[in-house]
Structure 1
Amino acid sequence: MDMDDLAWQASNYRGLSPRTVRLLLEHGHLHLVAQVAVDRGEWFCAEGAVEELCQGEDFGRALSVMEPFVETGWRAASYAKAEILLRAGRRTEEVLDLLRPDNPGRASMAECRDFAEVLGKTGRVDDAIELLVPHLEKPWILSVLVDITDGQGRDERVLELIAPRADHARQARGEGRWDYAHSNAQELQARVLERAGRADEAIRILGQDIARRCFLAQNTLVAYAELLARHGRLDELRKLVGGQDARTVLDVYAGALRSDGRVEEAEAVMRDAIAADDWVGYRAWLSSMLLAEGRLDDAIVVAEPGFGWYDCSNLLAPLVHPLLDRPEELLYLVEHPRVVPHHGHEEFQHWWRAWALAGLGRVDEAITVAGLDRPWTDPRLVKADLLKRADRLDAAAEELRALGTIKAREELCEILVLQGRADEAIAVHPTVAEQRAAEPKLRSVPLGENGYSLEPPS
């Protein structure tokens, strides 16, 4: 193994995928997963095995699994080893030496973040804070500061660091500027005040910012609404959703009502909003809530006007996904007379219907409905997936063996695990080298001075 292969696996979810590793572990194959991690350099096997071993307090075995990955010099592996040592209660310096930057003054922000997180976990919170201070102009580093100091008794120090940045955000917005370097400072300030036991102060300060429109991002508005909801300030929240920001925060108010057991009120709020402003977001929230309450017919009526809209607004998918493991209800939905094909992607409706039929054991119908002439997928993969869905594992395995492609072997691996043939499953799964070799090779094209291609799109 080397760093390049490991980084490729992690960024592309290749090797044995996290899903396959979870399946192996669920079927009791921890020792096989650990062995494969080392023998084949499988990163997700290493992660899965280490987590299971640490949960069982077998830290020595966890370290032996991770060590070959650490030896490649890959920083993610060093961080994983540090986590094992921390969970094992090992010495602080031993842990810190793994991630201490060679030259702190020239370390990347990612290196500083990793080291700061470990410093915090080893009790050296003040050192962690000071390490991050030079980088606090970056919003994500400011979030890291808040995260690593949670419950560490350093809220006043953190508030001192956040305050000028929150003030800068208010001033920038008041002057009509959009300085996104500080766009999350106000909500983080409120978060730290709240956890320090000063929720009323957090609500007052952030509420003034919202009232004066002195904030840079919608996330700040949502954070304020959620803050009100957490502290039962529903009257103030109701006033907030009655203004110009209803589309952004009405779901927070309705969700708070539902969490408080006031489901009928939550429904009424959304139905009134739809009557006044028939926005897709209101229909999406209400239909999903109705489905969660077991009212599929009512959910369909609410969502039906959006069943034929474009991808980002289509309201069929949010009802389909919770029903993927409930084939009878899924079939009822996709065969409902008000359901129309997904706009521009009719194949999704066909696939969902096929998936439901297979789940009910009606495989021949499912295969017919799936439309196996789709140009972007191999029909034998589709057929095998439907056979697997119907629990006809031998037939699915036969299809995949006959196909023999990289993708087919990956799918076959999971079926063999389900059949209790884990060793064979590992043997049939393609190696990382095979997966990489099968990747399509991108053709390089000449670039102009502006960095864009000199060739027209094909």
Structure 2
Amino acid sequence: MNVDDLQWQLRHLGGVPPRIVDEILERGGLEVLVEAARERKDWFCAVGAARGLCAAGELGRAWTVVEPFAASGWQPAVRAGIDVLLRWNHVEQALELAHPSGWGQESGDAWRDYAEALVRAGRVDDAIGVLVPFLRDRRVLRGLVEMTDGQGCDERVLEVLAPIAEEFRRDPTQCGVGDLWDVLPAQARVLERSGRADEAIRLLGTDVAARRYGPQNNIEFYAELLARHGRVEELRNLATGTQKSTVAVPYVKVLENLGRAGEAEAYLRDLIASKHPGWYENALVDLLIRQGRFADAIEAGRHTFDDLYDGNLLQSTMILLAEQGQHDKAIELTEGRSPEFLAENEAWLRSNRWWLMGGARRAREAIEEIEALPASEVDDRELTIAWLLAQDSRVEQAIARLLPLPGKRAATDLAELLIRQTRFAEAVAVIPDVAAQREEERHFWTGRPDGTEGDGSNR
């Protein structure tokens, strides 16, 4: 088992992509995934096969699938193996596999996985003890909070979090401590779930007021904590103070959930009128669309639709409208754009338009638009037409369009269509294996099959 190949698959969603695996599994193609895991050494097929076999109660076969991957020592595969063994009630074997050894001894991820296995084996105190030396690793700290939820050990968790939280509070700028900001919401989360929400709000509120935090999500967590416990006035004070850009969205959603959408709208419109910096137009468009006020939402964002900078809400508004089934309204927004905007954005605007038309059952009209344009002006022309054909229920024609096309993307689109026809083995077979995909990637970046740098002339 090649660990570098496995890591590449995970990083690039390479091999058979997870969504293809999920579709095959959902439609009854479990055995094809088992075979692909064995023959192709495909990581996502192995994960899907193990999941399907576990669900079917075939735990021994699930272990047979993941064992060669877990034996490589690659941590995601070890994690999958632990899961199967614990489900199979092979607890000691699972703990033996999970225990970090050799190169993994310094890995916080490995110790976190071992601790989670201990929790699942009923050894919660041991799990907490294992993690204490690694709690300055943010992922381990989050893992401790998650894996102990509902285990009746909140006081013990608070005990081990307290010295780290106090160390950060003493001097958040101290070298080596700056990354510990996540301990503050972690501590609040455990206090909240143990029935001490008022204490969590008081403690984290003091931290926010004293600006003891790292990234803005500490403030966002505090706002959501207030919202969960109906502390609307405190939330309003936060949303009208210096933290308004971070707290606006949680505050608006609280008001909306309380049936006070008009108040939320007025709040956002006041911020926009006062020209406070922030994405308040975006929040207003979101709110109005959730309220079913589509015309008002479009008007709220319209002044940004020809903007050439980051504040343009055209695409996000089209997507939100489409999610509400308002494809035709979204399609209208692709029309009448300024020449300056089209000069820089015509390609993606057309692509979005055709996607929307496919969702609006106007695929034939979209195909006519594409075929009326010079082929050189349409990115991914054949892929787009094939997708539209499939949307128009002309699946065989779509398959015929995709069959001769090279590359992973065309193969993945083709696989999706084959899956619809329950042709699972063919669907996996048309997707290039990992070696071929890695070669395609090297060629894309260098222009040369051997991966050496070219002069760019053949890119």
Task: Tell me the TM-score normalised to structure 1 length.
Answer: 0.87
The CA distance in 1 between the partners of 2:442 and 2:220, in whole Å, is: 42
Task: Tell me the residue number matched to 2:70.
Answer: 70
Q: Percent of aligned positions with the same letter in both sequences?
A: 40
Letter aligned with residue 435 of structure 1: Q
- Residues 1:388 and 2:390 aligned together: yes
Task: Tell me the residue number matched to 2:370.
Answer: 367
Task: Tell me the residue number matched to 2:452.
Answer: none
- The answer to whether the 8 A contact 1:172-1:178 is kept is no
Task: Tell me the residue number matched to 2:430.
Answer: 428
Deviation sequence 1:353-410 (CA, Å, 0-9, x none) = 12223341324334248874258x5432233233233332222212222334443333
Task: Tell me the residue number matched to 2:273.
Answer: 275
Distance 1:160-1:369 versus aligned 2 partners, 3 A rule: farther
Distance 1:324-1:40 versus aligned 2 partners, 3 A rule: farther
Structure 1, unmatched stretches of 5+, are: 445-454
Task: Tell me the residue number matched to 1:118.
Answer: 117
Distance 1:274-1:304 versus aligned 2 partners, 3 A rule: same
The CA distance in 2 between the partners of 1:19 and 1:340, in whole Å, is: 38
Deviation at 1:104, TM superposition (A): 9.5
Deviation at 1:232, TM superposition (A): 0.5
- The answer to whether the 8 A contact 2:109-2:140 is kept is no
SS of aligned partner of 2:403:
helix
Deviation at 1:231, TM superposition (A): 0.3
Distance 1:178-1:60 versus aligned 2 partners, 3 A rule: closer
The CA distance in 1 between the partners of 2:27 and 2:388, in whole Å, is: 22
Task: Tell me the residue number matched to 1:158.
Answer: 157
- Residues 1:133 and 2:132 aligned together: yes
SS of aligned partner of 1:402:
coil
Deviation at 1:324, TM superposition (A): 4.6
Which structure carries more relative contact order (alpha carbon 8 Å, separation 6+)?
2
- The answer to whether the 8 A contact 2:118-2:126 is kept is yes
- The answer to whether the 8 A contact 2:294-2:321 is kept is no
Task: Tell me the residue number matched to 1:438.
Answer: 440
The CA distance in 2 between the partners of 1:117 and 1:142, in whole Å, is: 12
Deviation sequence 1:6-40 (CA, Å, 0-9, x none) = 22211111111111112222322222222222222
- Residues 1:16 and 2:16 aligned together: yes
SS of aligned partner of 1:344:
helix
- The answer to whether the 8 A contact 1:274-1:282 is kept is yes
Deviation sequence 1:144-175 (CA, Å, 0-9, x none) = 222222222222222222222222322224x7
Distance 1:226-1:306 versus aligned 2 partners, 3 A rule: same
Structure 2, unmatched stretches of 5+, are: 448-454
Distance 1:338-1:408 versus aligned 2 partners, 3 A rule: closer
The CA distance in 1 between the partners of 2:265 and 2:17, in whole Å, is: 41
Task: Tell me the residue number matched to 1:350.
Answer: 350
Distance 1:341-1:30 versus aligned 2 partners, 3 A rule: farther
Task: Tell me the residue number matched to 1:408.
Answer: 410
For residues 163-202 of structure 1, the aligned pairs below 5 Å read 163-173=162-172, 179-202=177-200
- The answer to whether the 8 A contact 1:54-1:62 is kept is yes
The CA distance in 2 between the partners of 1:169 and 1:219, in whole Å, is: 16
The CA distance in 1 between the partners of 2:127 and 2:240, in whole Å, is: 43
The CA distance in 2 between the partners of 1:275 and 1:205, in whole Å, is: 34
- Residues 1:260 and 2:271 aligned together: no
SS of aligned partner of 2:399:
helix
Letter aligned with residue 277 of structure 1: K
Task: Tell me the residue number matched to 1:449.
Answer: none
Q: 1:222 aligns with which of 220, 223, 238?
A: 220
- The answer to whether the 8 A contact 2:387-2:398 is kept is yes
Task: Tell me the residue number matched to 1:303.
Answer: 301
Deviation sequence 1:79-126 (CA, Å, 0-9, x none) = 1121112223x1421210111122599432222122122122222222
SS of aligned partner of 2:376:
coil
Letter aligned with residue 432 of structure 2: P
The CA distance in 1 between the partners of 2:55 and 2:30, in whole Å, is: 12
- Residues 1:234 and 2:223 aligned together: no
Deviation sequence 1:279-304 (CA, Å, 0-9, x none) = 45111111012222222211111112
Corresponding pairs, count: 444
Deviation sequence 1:302-349 (CA, Å, 0-9, x none) = 112222335643211222223456443432333377998478333221
Deviation at 1:417, TM superposition (A): 1.7
Distance 1:403-1:181 versus aligned 2 partners, 3 A rule: closer
SS of aligned partner of 2:139:
helix
Letter aligned with residue 78 of structure 2: S
Task: Tell me the residue number matched to 2:451.
Answer: none
- The answer to whether the 8 A contact 2:104-2:110 is kept is no
Deviation sequence 1:36-90 (CA, Å, 0-9, x none) = 22222221111122222323333223222222323444332221121112223x1
Task: Tell me the residue number matched to 2:56.
Answer: 56
The CA distance in 1 between the partners of 2:187 and 2:267, in whole Å, is: 31
Deviation at 1:249, TM superposition (A): 0.4
Letter aligned with residue 97 of structure 1: E
